[in-house]
């Protein structure tokens, strides 16, 4: 769709009130899958595995196989429900959602339907302007993930036009919790920001609970964004679209913004919105309609007869409630205090969605100031260039290691940026990149003095100026020296040595 | 008795008798297995009880003999051959559930009951024929041709487990495993003069049993005597962590229960409830007559016969034919050609949906398609409450009727099937008539209670076997074995010999009247 078919965002907001709704899927990081003892690729450090190696007869839906509920997944789901402020159902039930698709081994998904494990909660989401927006949660239910299809041949990598498709069932049966919001109204022009902040808040919660790796780029956390527009003052709801599997915080925000502009343009031109599933395209920054499903509305849900109801004891629920980590707002206050950040500095971190990253970087040994500086600075900049989430570029451990190298004087900021590049390029840990690229600061004064003398020889007037008290003249020498050292010198030390030189030759 | 060799004697033994001979090393497992393999070779061309005969049976038997020679402590059925319904997954044999769509499929795992057989050192002889995916009451819906009733080859052996019942009735195996969703163990037992037990739902693991209707399916023994069924039940029963619906009961020894019953000789103090709704109209006269005689016998043995009414049983078939197809439509969705089994690509290729549709079109038989369509409809948006929802309510009512009946009676009895074996082809074009064969057995499945089919004599009008059904409250399977063994002894006393000895296929020939 060309931009001509998009309405200006401000104008769209004058005419329409956006109504939002989100379904966030969280892959739990249990050791084994939801209903089988197969290893869980979403477990910490598990990795995706060679195709179809992390499977049992249950994951493959072989005849005669039966599901058995993973108890740890139940505990994690209850914890998540409690953290979302939900009621935990004393009895919840699994149900079969029936539809045919080759990535769904049994051609039904075991999910929960009218009896979810958690319901009626709320999440308070902080916006950049400092206000808090309450997003109400309708339900959080447990289900299993599907396998992964790879479409081979054809230009788009989509099923249309492909020669054949490969199925990998490693992901089939990975435990999921789907968090469904109630209808969100009143966000107005903050809608795109709220979308991002909401998903970020969910991510913070699951990370603090330790129940998911929560890496959006790996699909540990996936967002389906529903949006419709209501003509201002009409009190009427519009037709909604659902954009599936938006896999970064940035994309969530862009998707909402784009759909507001797209739908507004259609409605203003007298058109109607088709209720449909859409896909987000990161490269073009647009959405497009998904494959129409003829039986989309009839999943023929019925209670899963292979499983018994989930009936957690009151004791278990209270035990899990007592073990909950502090609520995000309390946590934010504590972190701000302990890091000694100003309101502005802290808001900068929160609004960038980098609280978790900064926290874990500090935990890995970096100073709070440096951790903030790198995440909201260079890493955020590179992420923006690459149009990805910062956390997908580099691990907190690597950032902390980088910061430690800078703080010990082994790297200058400039060298550190090169090391970061190397780490992101997959060349290894910061220490390994330093080694491979030979990027250590030259701390040998002898080599520096030789270079300074060379530079001074070609600019004899510099020494005169310094001796006359014009210390800034040293700058004219620092440049050539740094160049001669291929940047691997500490500029402050070079300056010091130049001044010493000037004085000693006096 | 002239002309009958040692092999004929061996196959005529009950499993309990054979296991005693094996334990005393009077007979080897290899000899017993060979005798049954020979029998299969001799008669299965006529009976067609087996879809697959194991190539490893003799090897397994030799291993058991070796273990016995080494002094290994073996279970009571070690070395006894057994036939396995093809609905159960076996690592070393194809498991087709009687369907073209699974032809040749060898599972990468054993059903839990099969691993238990192997652990107890029974000798799997092969896989038995069945109605496709256990949908039927005659075994005529097998994709691989019907099984014939050993009492009369022109007649059906019941279904869906006609292969297992016929194999046992024709002395091709002393024991077999069956599965019972609405009567598939008990109704074939009734029409072949054998014993079939459907345990309490959850009493035996369903893991590796290719599912028909998950909330109704139960695996159980098919044998010629009550004691043999109890011995086999002791082997296959118990909790299985792979089956969430499996019970954690500490089950008593069913063999002990059966022996107690056989020795008792009396039913004094036992309240036997006759279910009013499971008799009368629609039941063959000879079946009703035999049932009346069995009641007389029990009464004479001291049982208190009480009539109980279970009004909601009238709706059992209707509810069953909503719940079963609904669950089956979902359970059978996995047969889509993507991961295993048949794949049919339509001419010129096509989309994945086209391939799935062509495969299911070619791979499923008419009855399977009929039930998938019924079930899909029953679960559809807008119809769910009226069909599946109402059926579940009926199910609750049936459970309440059972609970009320068991207030008045210790066991409930009825004929196990409304008629004796009918002619092959007779009801094939009339699904509703076919469905009525399970009228007496379905309520037990809907309520999850145990039920046994036990021979109660030949019907006067056609000289074909009839069966009585004994039901007990859930978890009380032992009670059925005790009462069943007493009744079996009383009946055999009254006949002077076991009913099966009158079979024209009896290896020692007493039944050969022509």
- Give B174-205 pLDDT, tens digit per residue: 999 999 999 999 999 999 999 999 999 999 99
Q: Is B491 on the interface with A (CB under 8 A)?
A: no
Same structural domain for residues A140 and A284? yes
Per-residue pLDDT band at A296 (split at 50, 70, 90)? low
- Together in a domain, A348 and A464: no
pLDDT value, residue A506? 47
> Can you tell me the mean pLDDT for B212-238?
98
Fold of B6-313+395-502: Amidase signature (AS) enzymes (3.90.1300)
> Closest Cα to residue A438, out of A379, A395, A485, A479?
A485
Q: How far apart are CA B200 and CA B471, in angstroms?
A: 10
CB proximity list for B128: less than 8 A, separation 6 or greater: B49, B50, B51, B83, B84, B85, B86, B147, B161, B163, B164, B166, B167, B176
List residues of chain A with CB under 8 Å from any CB of chain B. Answer: 57, 60-69, 96, 98, 100, 102, 105-108, 165, 167, 297-298, 300-302, 305-308
Query: Where do the H-state alpha helices sit in B364-462?
Result: 366-379, 390-408, 431-435, 442-447
Whether residue A187 contacts residue A14, with contact meaning beta carbons closer than 8 Å, is answered with no
| A163 lies in the same domain as A272 | yes
Q: pLDDT exceeding 70 applies to what percent of chain A?
A: 97
The residue of A300, A304, A307, A311 whose CB has the most chain B CBs within 10 angstroms, and thus the best one to mutate to test that interface, is A300
CB-count burial class (<10 Å; 0-12, 13-18, 19+) for A367: middle
By C-alpha distance, the chain A residue nearest B329 is: A98
Mutate to test the interface with A, among B352, B359, B364, B385 (most CBs of A within 10 A): B352
Chain B residue whose CA is closest to A108 = B330
Q: Does B333 touch chain A (CB under 8 A)?
A: yes
Segment B335-346 mean pLDDT:
95
Nearest to B76 by CA among B195, B222, B234, B194: B234
Chain B interface mutation, best of A64, A99, A153, A299, highest count of B Cβ atoms under 10 Å: A64
Residue in A with minimal Cα distance to B216 = A305
Cβ of A167 and B384 within 8 Å? no
Structure-token pair, residue A400: 């902390």
Min Cα separation B463/chain A (Å): 39
Could you tell me how many helices (H) and strands (E) chain B has, helices first?
Answer: 17, 11
Q: Does B357 touch chain A (CB under 8 A)?
A: no
- On chain B, the residues whose CB falls within 8 A of the CB of A66 are 206-207, 242-244
- Is A57 close to B109, i.e. CB distance below 8 A? yes
Strand runs (DSSP E) across A191-313, as ranges?
Answer: 221-231, 241-246, 276-281, 286-289, 302-303
| CB-CB contact of B355 with B344 (8 Å) | yes
Cβ contact B315:B394 at 8 Å: yes
Query: Is the domain of A53 the same as that of A95?
Result: yes
Q: According to the model, what pLDDT value does residue B513 have?
A: 40
- For A111-124, the pLDDT digits (tens) are 999 999 999 999 99
CA A378, A424, A31, A215 torsion-angle sign: positive
Does the pLDDT at position A329 exceed 80?
no
A98: nearest CA partner in chain B: B330
User: Which of A289, A282, A278, A97 is closest to A176 using CA atoms?
Assistant: A97
Q: Do the domain assignments include residue A299?
A: yes
Instruction: Determine the pLDDT at residue A500.
Output: 80
Shortest CA gap B198–chain A (Å): 18
CB contact under 8 A, A308 and B244: yes
pTM recorded for the entire structure: 0.86
pLDDT in tens, A211-270: 999 999 899 999 999 999 999 988 899 999 999 989 899 999 999 999 999 999 999 999
Residue A89 CB neighbours (<10 A): 21
Q: Tell me the three-class secondary structure of B402-430, residue by residue.
A: HHHHHHHCCEEEEECCCCCCCECCCCCCC
Contact A300 B379 (CB under 8 A): yes
Q: Is B248 on the interface with A (CB under 8 A)?
A: no
A107: distance to nearest CA of chain B, Å?
5
Q: Which residue, of A289, A318, A347, is where some domain finishes?
A: A318
Calpha distance A177→A189 (Å, rounded) = 29
For residues A154 and A282, membership in a common domain is answered with yes
Residue A34 — very low, low, confident or very high, per pLDDT cuts 50/70/90?
Answer: very high
Confidence of residue A489 (pLDDT cuts 50, 70, 90): confident
Q: Do B109 and A165 touch (CB under 8 A)?
A: no
**B352 close to A (CB below 8 A):** yes
| A450 or B265, higher pLDDT | B265
**How buried is residue B431: exposed, middle or buried, by Cβ count under 10 Å (0-12/13-18/19+)?**
middle
CATH of the domain at A463: 1.10.10.410
Look at residue A375 in the predicted model and tell me its pLDDT. 95
Chain A residues with CB under 8 Å of B239 CB are: none
For residue range B419-473, what is the model confidence (pLDDT) as tens digits?
999 999 999 888 888 899 999 999 999 999 999 999 999 999 999 999 999 999 9
Whether the pLDDT of residue B497 is over 90: the answer is yes
- Average pLDDT (A280-306) is 83
Interface test with A, best of B102, B242, B324, B360 (most A CBs within 10 A): B242
Per CB-CB distance under 8 Å, the chain B contacts of A167 are: 338
Say if the Cβ atoms of A63 and B109 lie within 8 Å.
Answer: no
Q: Are residues A32 and A172 in the same domain?
A: yes
Among chain A residues, the shortest Cα distance to B105 is held by A63
Nearest chain A residue to B376 by CA distance is A300
Cα→Cα distances A37→A17, A172, A202, A293, A470, Å: 47, 12, 28, 32, 74
pLDDT tens figures, B123-153: 999 999 999 999 999 999 999 999 999 999 9
| Shortest alpha-carbon distance between residue A101 and chain B (Å) | 8
Which residues of A are less than 8 Å from B109 in CB distance? Answer: 57, 62, 64-65
pLDDT for A488:
76
Print the SS3 string covering B139-179. CCCCCCCCCCECCECCECCCCCCHHHHHHHHCCCCCEEEEE
pLDDT digits (tens, 9 = 90+) for B258-288: 999 999 999 999 999 999 999 988 999 999 9
With respect to residue A438, please indicate whether it lies within any of the assigned structural domains: no
> At how many degrees (to 10) do helices A328-339 and A355-363 cross?
50
Examine the domain organization and report whether A331 and A413 are in the same domain.
yes
Interface A-B: count of C-beta contacts within 8 A? 104
Residue A430 confidence (pLDDT) above 80? yes
A435 located within any domain:
no
Residue B509: pLDDT band with limits 50, 70, 90:
confident
Q: Does A296 share its domain with A340?
A: no
Q: Do A63 and B388 touch (CB under 8 A)?
A: no
Confidence tier at A463 by pLDDT (50, 70, 90): confident
Positions of B annotated as catalytic residues are 85, 160, 184
Q: What is the pLDDT of residue B2?
A: 36
| Complex confidence, ipTM | 0.95
Is B34 at the interface with chain A, CB within 8 A? no
| Residues paired with residue A223 on neighbouring β-strands, in sequence order | A24, A246
Domain-embedded: residue A293: yes
Q: Do A65 and B376 touch (CB under 8 A)?
A: no
Q: Please indicate whether, in this complex, the C-beta atoms of A102 and B95 are within 8 angstroms of each other.
A: no
Same domain, A312 and A209: yes
Q: Find the closest chain A residue to B212 by CA distance.
A: A64
pLDDT digits (tens, 9 = 90+) for A63-101: 999 999 999 999 999 999 999 999 999 999 999 999 999
d(CA B125, CA A238): 66
Answer yes or no: do A186 and A235 share one domain. yes
Residues A344 and A228 in one domain: no
**Hey, which residues does A21 pair with through a beta bridge?**
A226
Residue A362 has pLDDT above 70, yes or no: yes
Classify B53 as helix, strand or coil.
strand
User: What residues make up the domain containing A479?
Assistant: 445-504
Q: Say if residue B172's pLDDT is above 90.
A: yes
- Domain locations in chain B as residue ranges: 6-313+395-502
Model confidence pLDDT, tens digit, residues B349-387? 888 899 999 999 999 999 999 999 999 999 998 899 999
Domain boundary among A318, A336, A366: A318
In a domain, residue A119? The reply is yes
Q: How far apart are CA B442 and CA A372, in angstroms?
A: 69
Confidence (pLDDT) at A405? 87
In a domain, A83, yes or no: yes
**pLDDT for the residue A438:** 79
Residue of chain B nearest A294, judged by CA positions: B353
CB contact under 8 A, B379 and A68: no
Band (pLDDT 50/70/90 cuts) for residue A5 is: confident
Residues A136 and A213 occupy one common structural domain? yes
Structure confidence at residue A456 (pLDDT): 80
Establish if B105 touches chain A: CB-CB under 8 angstroms.
Answer: yes
Q: Which residue has the higher pLDDT, A437 or A315?
A: A315
Kindly tell me the sign of the dihedral angle through the C-alpha atoms of B115, B120, B126, B132: negative
**Closest Cα of chain A to B473: distance in Å?**
20
Last residue of a domain, one of A293, A318, A343: A318
Name the band, by pLDDT with cuts 50, 70 and 90, for residue A4.
low
Overall number of domains in chain A: 3
On chain A, the residues whose CB falls within 8 A of the CB of B380 are 298, 300
Report, as an integer, the average pLDDT of A148-171. Answer: 85
Is it the case that residue A485 has pLDDT exceeding 90? no
């Amino acid at each position: 769709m060309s931009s001509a078919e998009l309405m200006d965002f401000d104008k769209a907001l004058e005419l329409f009130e956006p109504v939002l709704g989100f379904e966030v899927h969280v892959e739990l990081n249990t050791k084994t899958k939801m209903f089988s003892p197969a290893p869980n690729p979403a477990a910490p450090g598990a990795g995706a595995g060679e195709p179809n190696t992390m499977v049992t007869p249950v994951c493959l839906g072989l005849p005669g196989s039966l599901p058995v509920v993973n108890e740890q997944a139940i505990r994690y789901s209850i914890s998540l429900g409690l953290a979302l402020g939900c009621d935990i159902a004393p009895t919840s039930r699994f149900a079969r959602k029936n539809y045919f698709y080759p990535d769904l081994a049994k051609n039904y998904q075991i999910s929960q339907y009218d009896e979810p494990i958690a319901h009626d909660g709320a999440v308070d989401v902080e916006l950049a302007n400092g206000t808090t927006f309450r997003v109400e949660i309708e339900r959080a239910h447990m289900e299993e993930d599907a396998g992964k299809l790879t479409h081979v041949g054809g230009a788009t990598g989509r099923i249309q036009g492909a020669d054949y498709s490969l199925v990998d069932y490693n992901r089939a049966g990975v435990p999921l919790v789907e968090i469904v919001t109630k209808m969100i109204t009143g966000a107005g022009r903050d809608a795109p920001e709220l979308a991002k902040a909401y998903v970020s808040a969910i991510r913070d919660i699951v990370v603090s609970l330790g129940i998911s790796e929560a890496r959006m780029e790996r699909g540990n956390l996936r967002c389906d964004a529903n949006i419709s527009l209501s003509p201002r003052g009409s009190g009427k709801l519009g037709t909604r679209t659902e954009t599936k599997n938006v896999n970064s915080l940035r994309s969530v925000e862009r998707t909402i913004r784009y759909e507001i502009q797209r739908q507004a343009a259609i409605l203003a031109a007298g058109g109607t919105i088709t209720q449909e599933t859409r896909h987000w395209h990161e490269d073009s920054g647009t959405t497009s309609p998904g494959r129409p499903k003829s039986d989309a509305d009839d999943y023929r849900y019925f209670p899963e007869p292979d499983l018994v109801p989930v009936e957690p004891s009151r004791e278990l629920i209270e035990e899990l409630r007592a073990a909950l980590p502090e609520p995000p707002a309390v946590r934010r206050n504590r972190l701000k205090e302990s890091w000694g950040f100003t309101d502005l500095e802290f808001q900068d971190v929160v609004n960038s969605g980098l609280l978790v990253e900064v926290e874990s970087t500090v935990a890995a040994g970096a100073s709070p100031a440096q951790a903030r500086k790198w995440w909201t600075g260079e890493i955020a900049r590179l992420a923006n260039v690459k149009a990805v989430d910062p956390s997908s570029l580099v691990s907190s451990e690597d950032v902390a290691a980088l910061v430690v190298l800078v703080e010990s004087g082994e790297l200058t900021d400039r060298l550190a940026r090169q090391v970061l590049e190397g780490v992101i390029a997959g060349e290894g840990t910061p220490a390994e990149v330093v080694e491979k690229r030979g990027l250590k600061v030259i701390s040998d004064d002898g080599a520096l003095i030789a270079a300074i003398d060379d530079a001074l020889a070609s600019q004899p007037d510099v020494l005169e100026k310094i001796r006359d008290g014009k210390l800034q003249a040293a700058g004219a020498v620092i440049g050539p020296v740094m160049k001669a050292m291929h940047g691997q010198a500490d500029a402050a030390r070079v300056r010091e040595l130049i001044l010493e030189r000037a004085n000693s030759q006096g | 008795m002239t002309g009958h060799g040692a092999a004929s004697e061996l196959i005529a033994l009950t499993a309990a008798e054979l296991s005693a001979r094996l334990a005393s090393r009077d007979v080897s497992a290899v000899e017993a297995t060979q005798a049954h393999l020979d029998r299969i070779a001799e008669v299965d061309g006529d009976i067609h009880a087996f879809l697959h005969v194991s190539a490893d049976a003799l090897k397994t038997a030799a291993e058991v003999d070796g273990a016995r020679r080494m002094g290994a402590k073996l279970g009571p059925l070690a070395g006894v051959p057994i036939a396995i319904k093809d609905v159960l997954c076996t690592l070393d044999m194809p498991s087709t559930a009687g369907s073209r769509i699974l032809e040749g499929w060898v599972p990468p795992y054993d059903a839990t009951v099969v691993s238990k057989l192997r652990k107890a050192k029974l000798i799997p002889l092969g896989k038995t024929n069945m109605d496709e995916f256990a949908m039927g009451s005659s075994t005529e819906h097998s994709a691989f041709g019907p099984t014939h009733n050993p009492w009369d080859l022109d007649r059906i052996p019941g279904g869906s487990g006609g292969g297992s019942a016929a194999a046992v009735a024709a002395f091709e195996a002393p024991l077999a495993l069956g599965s019972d969703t609405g009567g598939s163990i008990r109704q074939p037992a009734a029409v072949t003069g054998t014993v079939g037990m459907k345990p309490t739902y959850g009493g035996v693991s369903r893991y590796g049993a290719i599912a028909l209707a998950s909330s109704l399916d139960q695996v159980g023994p098919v044998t010629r005597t009550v004691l043999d069924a109890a011995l086999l039940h002791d082997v296959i029963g118990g909790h299985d962590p792979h089956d969430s619906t499996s019970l954690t009961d500490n089950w008593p020894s069913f063999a002990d229960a059966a022996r107690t019953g056989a020795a008792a000789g009396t039913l004094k103090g036992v309240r036997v409830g006759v279910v009013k709704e499971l008799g009368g109209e629609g039941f063959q006269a000879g079946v009703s007559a035999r049932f009346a005689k069995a009641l007389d016998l029990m009464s004479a043995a001291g049982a208190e016969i009480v009539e109980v009414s279970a009004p909601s049983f009238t709706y059992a078939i209707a509810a069953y034919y909503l719940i079963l197809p609904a669950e089956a439509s979902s359970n059978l969705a996995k047969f889509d050609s993507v991961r295993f089994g048949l794949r049919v690509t339509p001419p010129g290729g096509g989309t994945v949906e086209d391939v799935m549709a062509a495969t299911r079109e070619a791979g499923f038989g008419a009855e399977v398609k009929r039930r998938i369509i019924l079930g899909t409809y029953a679960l559809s948006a807008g119809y769910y409450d009226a069909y599946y929802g109402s059926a579940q309510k009926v199910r609750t009512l049936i459970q309440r009727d059972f609970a009320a009946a068991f207030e008045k009676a210790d066991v409930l009895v009825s004929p196990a099937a409304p008629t004796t074996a009918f002619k092959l082809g007779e009801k094939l074009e009339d699904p509703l008539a076919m469905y009525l064969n399970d009228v007496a057995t379905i309520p037990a499945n809907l309520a999850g209670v145990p039920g046994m089919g036990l021979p109660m004599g030949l019907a006067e009008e056609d000289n074909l076997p009839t069966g009585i059904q004994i039901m007990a409250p859930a978890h009380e399977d032992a009670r059925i074995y005790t009462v069943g063994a007493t009744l079996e002894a009383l009946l055999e006393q009254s006949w002077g010999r076991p009913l099966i000895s009158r079979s024209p296929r009896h290896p020692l020939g007493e039944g050969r009247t022509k």
